[in-house]
Structure 1
């Protein structure tokens, strides 16, 4: 407990700066994430002492209301809500409703920055645990003394230190990785991928786009198929909902069937894609028609997300919910 109570600072994980996955994360969101992380340490301490108040089947969680964060960070509650959505979109936290007013927040560890990444904070990889040898003040090597280098990214760090100390890198020890030349076909595929990914980012969260790229194996044709399949499934769910006169001209229908307004659709899509990958590519049973399975799975997920959105945000009677269940059943 001493490490917690004596802490007079709020650490920020440097992967939030260095990892391209978090490049769109604002500094305010990073500070909020750091608050959540520090609170998680307290929950973890309670768990280690035998108090399971903040532990469930999903792991360790925290209670941290937007009002509480608003007072600490001196921001509006609305601003905190926006920052929390950023963290959810990046996969840094997941939020689950608990009771009528409380929310459980599960704090995830940031993904490690890929080794080949150009670091925004290059000194983040220095290993300060290794002592630096003391050098006499009058030694000629004082000016060229180097900080310890983390071996996972030593090439880039050596280049940085060489520039700062005006040292030259030996010609026979080139630190620049050799990138194989791409064919014209590969170049066009990359360009097409960038084009469709840019469009997808306007609708989906960054984690969803990342999952789609992996599922498509960086193939433009496969990525476009996944994209078209998602929108086709959503279109069928929307058409089915609007086939009922009650929902045809109801403003709630638009909010329920749009990624921009229905967080259950936007956030849940990443989980749906992960489950599809596990079933289709790692499942014990062989799927005969993968394309059909993926479409049906996405359609059913979206139908449930639309239904739950309407139940959570509008006062529906028991009969209304029964009719909605029938309407959105396929």
Structure 2
């Protein structure tokens, strides 16, 4: 038995120009054949394909499955031009067995050049139309509720009542400038190789003091580990940019690569003439080539460079990071 559905996916292309490779814009859950699916669009491509940002990737992800054997499905997609006519840039994806939390699709669905030339509307959006066909939907299978969202279940560990917490007790406490942060070893170890080594190594302890970090930043990082979510802008205090930079450094310290890139994206979105020098130094210090290359590109724009060189930030960069300043001068031809 088959089940199918078409879904329209609108990409705010103008807002996606600053995205890093590997950062997806996704739909909500789309139910086909009794299973939740999600369409993931990577405006700069999926980084693991070695995409340098000149192609858009389009993928279908099975959000959960009732069978560990996976679900067979066919995925098709086209993009509308400015006149509303469909354009196919790829062949239909053959029937694929999708495994839970895995995606399949086209790493190079369409070039950004083609999108900009033919498909970006006046309001800066691109419309994709995607078809999902699920094989073996229904049939004589016993109707079992969809799998729960594991991420939400883990997040509840942070918001349990005192009564519930007694049944799932924390087993490690971090002390950050005198403030205590209880946590679960297995959750932290599953998310961070640094925590894994610290919590299950020969020197492991149930009480750990964290040096050189503010309690607020550790709290944001702990919450991300449980929820995969960044703090809201209203939570970052009087200096959101500084807080995001400190969280970026914490992510690097504990090898939380996704958090690090998410922070880098936020930092890049707020780059200005006055702070680009500090953003570049931050990217170089904590080894983030994605942010560093974009800051270098910002400097390379002549109109930006003429303003930046007269800022205190640029003077600070030259004095404190001479090798980076030399690399920058070579890059922009100073």
Q: TM-score, normalised by structure 1?
A: 0.28
Mark the structure with the bigger radius of gyration.
Answer: 1
- Counting strand residues as a fraction of each chain, which structure ranks higher? 2
- TM-score normalized with structure 2 length: 0.27
Looking at secondary structure, tell me which structure has more helix per residue.
1
